[in-house]
């Protein structure tokens, strides 16, 4: 039995895109191919196995790959065996650097079984390795373009393509590309907005939630086994609510039902560092899911956040004019100052950077005087609103009077037409009798009808109707109701 000359590490890698290849590139199949190769090469002993499951071959900071390189640099192994060249990596520059510089520098033999590459023999042709590396790199580029295109199409269709929904939402059971409300955390989000509208600071809101032993977003997702971010702050255990978390929730437009995607991304498939994309390149979809807070409340909170409304050290409330008083000279925000004297405690507002910004004169506003001015202004505004309401009510009455006048006018015109027709018929009765169109008895009957009380009543009603209209018109011009009929309704 020959002595083992090479201490080898079996390196196995499987990316998410390789899952579509079926059994060919599976972990089990890669291990089987390498083991079968070792049975026919007694000079090689496999002393370790490194597996990177779910890692792209473009990057070389894979955890198991780094462990393998550590073993190589320490001299523990001097041979690397993979199923094919793409398992080592798909980025042709880094792959070539490892094969041409790093591995030879440490005396490492590299074997890619399916590609028939062995650096110990002439089979490791430099041109062949270069061509295969370029092909593997092009494969990654093609996959990246197709994936980006598919995700962009889903975003523009209003579908959710993120991995971890924001606190308060979860992926739909039947449709994973749609967000649905998670009722319990949604109620916490509503409470956060309510507390902010009531004047509480972000730090006070976080403190209140921690006092109630409510799990923070990351801890809630861990507790429920929901998808959550990993790395950075997300890896911290027993994370509590913080002011930063509260502000992030208060600024997230997702809670109004608007889905904004494509905020961050990478420049290309070879770079994994995230960059922020400009506002114009982001995909915005209105009414993509059910809203947790109303748009009115959200906009109001944004206005509050834009104000400098911090509480004083040890304080628990925000003062009335915090963040909204501006110096008329330099435009800076004014600061509240407390002056304690024997006669009492006085509060003032002044510009702390007035002299530096070129204010022509120092301005000190007493809080009590400012409060009176604001109250007087509010009262004047309320009085103006009441006056406007009265004017609107009077204009409504006038419009009603004008409509009634038009109705009277039309009725008068119709009655005058009927009276004129009656007079015409009456004047032609005698002519019709002489010409023989009607008999003498009919003439007497018809004449009596036209001259009866009905005709007289019609004439008398006509005159009364005209008087009604005249009185209403006079009342409209005087700005009051003059007609006895309307006076009676007012008294009633």
Domain extents in the chain: 6-149, 169-306, 325-362, 376-491
Interval 353-383: pLDDT, tens: 766 666 765 567 777 778 888 888 888 888 8
- Cα–Cα distance for residue pair 296/432, rounded to 1 Å: 81
Is the confidence at residue 32, as pLDDT, over 90? Answer: yes
- Cα dihedral 38/44/48/53 (nearest 10): -40
Give strand pairing partners of 348.
337, 366
> Does residue 56 or residue 2 have the better pLDDT?
56
Mean pLDDT taken over the chain: 79
Interval 282-292: pLDDT, tens: 888 998 999 99
pLDDT score recorded for residue 194: 94
Is the confidence at residue 233, as pLDDT, over 60? Answer: no
Q: Is the pTM of this model over 0.75?
A: no
Residue 248: pLDDT band by 50, 70, 90 thresholds? very high
- Cα–Cα distance for residue pair 55/87, rounded to 1 Å: 10
Cα-based distances in Å from 420 to 239, 424, 464: 95, 6, 17
Quick one: average pLDDT of 414-424? Answer: 73
pLDDT score recorded for residue 481: 43
- Cα–Cα distance for residue pair 472/479, rounded to 1 Å: 11
Is the confidence at residue 409, as pLDDT, over 80? Answer: no
Is the confidence at residue 485, as pLDDT, over 50? Answer: no
Residue 149: pLDDT band by 50, 70, 90 thresholds? confident
Interval 462-482: pLDDT, tens: 455 455 555 555 555 555 444
Give strand pairing partners of 181.
169
The percent of residues above 90 in pLDDT, for the chain, comes to 31
Same CATH fold, 169-306 and 6-149?
no
Class of domain 6-149 as given by CATH: alpha beta
Interval 153-210: pLDDT, tens: 888 888 888 888 999 999 888 778 889 999 999 999 999 999 999 888 899 999 999 9
pLDDT score recorded for residue 356: 66
Quick one: average pLDDT of 390-411? Answer: 70
> Does residue 21 or residue 275 have the better pLDDT?
275
pLDDT score recorded for residue 312: 59
Cα-based distances in Å from 126 to 60, 99, 102, 123, 289: 21, 10, 15, 9, 55
- The three-state DSSP-derived secondary structure of the chain is CCCCCEEEEEEEEECCHHHHHHHHHCHHHHHHHHHHHHHCCCCEEEEEEEEEECCCCCCCCCHHHHHHHHHHHHCCCCEEEECCHHHHCCCHHHHHHHHHHHHHHCCCEEEECCCCEECCCCCCCHHHHHHHHHHHHHHHHHHHHHHHHHHHHHHHCCCCCCCCCCCCEEECCCCCCCEEECHHHHHHHHHHHHHHHCCCCHHHHHHHHHHCCCCCHHHHHHHHCCCCCCCHHHHCCCCCCCHHHHHHHHCCHHHHCCEEECCEECCCCCCCCCEECCHHHCEEECCCCCCCCCHHHHHHHHHHHHCCCCCCCCCCCCCCCCCCCECCCCCCECEEEEEEECCEEEEEEECCCHHHHCCCCCCEEEHHHHHHHHHHHHHHHHHHHHHHHHHHHHHHHHHHHHHHHHHHHHHHHHHHHHHHHHHHHHHCHHHHHHCCCCCHHHHHHHHHHHCCHHHHHHHHHHHHHHHHHHHHHHHHHHCCCCCHHHHHHHHC
Quick one: average pLDDT of 449-470? Answer: 53
Residue 24: pLDDT band by 50, 70, 90 thresholds? low
Architecture of the domain delimited by 169-306? Alpha-Beta Complex (3.90)
């Amino acid at each position: 039995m020959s002595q083992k000359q090479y201490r080898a590490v079996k390196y196995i890698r499987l990316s998410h895109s390789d899952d579509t290849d079926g059994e060919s590139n599976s972990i089990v199949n890669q291990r089987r191919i390498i083991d079968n190769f070792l049975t026919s090469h007694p000079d090689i002993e496999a002393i370790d196995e490194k597996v990177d499951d779910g890692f792209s071959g473009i990057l070389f900071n894979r955890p198991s790959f780094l462990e393998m390189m550590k073993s190589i640099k320490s001299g523990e192994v001097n041979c690397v065996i993979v199923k094919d060249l793409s398992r080592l990596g798909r980025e042709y520059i880094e792959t070539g650097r490892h094969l041409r510089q790093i591995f030879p520098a440490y005396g490492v033999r590299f074997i890619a079984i399916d590609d028939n590459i062995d650096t110990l023999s002439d089979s490791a042709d430099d041109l062949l390795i270069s061509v295969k590396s370029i092909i593997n790199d092009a494969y990654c580029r093609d996959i990246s373009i197709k994936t980006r295109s598919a995700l962009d199409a889903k975003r523009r269709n209003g579908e959710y393509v993120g991995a971890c929904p924001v606190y308060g939402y979860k992926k739909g059971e039947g449709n994973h590309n749609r967000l649905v409300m998670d009722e319990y955390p949604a109620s916490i989000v509503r409470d956060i907005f309510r507390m902010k509208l009531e004047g509480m600071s972000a730090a006070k809101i976080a403190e209140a939630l921690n006092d109630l032993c409510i799990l923070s977003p990351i801890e809630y997702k861990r507790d429920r086994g929901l998808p959550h971010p990993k790395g950075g702050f997300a890896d911290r255990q027993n994370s509590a609510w913080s002011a930063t978390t509260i502000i992030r929730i208060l600024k997230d437009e997702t809670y109004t039902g608007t889905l904004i995607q494509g905020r961050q991304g990478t420049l290309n498939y070879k770079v994994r560092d995230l960059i922020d994309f400009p506002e114009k390149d982001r995909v915005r979809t209105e009414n993509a899911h059910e809203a947790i807070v109303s748009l009115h409340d959200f906009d109001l909170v944004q206005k509050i956040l834009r104000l400098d409304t911090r509480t004083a050290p040890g304080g628990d409330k925000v003062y009335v004019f915090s963040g909204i008083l501006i110096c008329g000279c330099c435009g800076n925000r004014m600061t509240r100052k407390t002056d304690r004297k024997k006669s009492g405690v006085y509060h003032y507002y002044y510009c702390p950077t007035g002299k530096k910004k070129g204010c022509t004169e120092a301005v000190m506003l007493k809080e009590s005087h400012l409060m009176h001015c604001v109250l007087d202004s509010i009262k004047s505004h309320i009085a103006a609103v009441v006056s406007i309401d009265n004017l609107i009510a009077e204009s409504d009455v006038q419009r009603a009077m004008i409509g009634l006048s038009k109705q009277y006018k039309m009725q008068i015109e119709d009655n005058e037409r009927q009276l004129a027709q009656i007079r015409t018929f009456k004047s032609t009765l005698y002519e019709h009798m002489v010409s023989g169109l009607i008999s003498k008895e009919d003439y007497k009957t018809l004449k009596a009808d036209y001259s009866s009380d009905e005709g007289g009543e019609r004439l008398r009603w006509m005159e009364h109707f005209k008087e009604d209209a005249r009185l209403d018109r006079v009342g409209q011009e005087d700005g009051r109701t003059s007609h006895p009929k309307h006076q009676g309704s007012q008294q009633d």
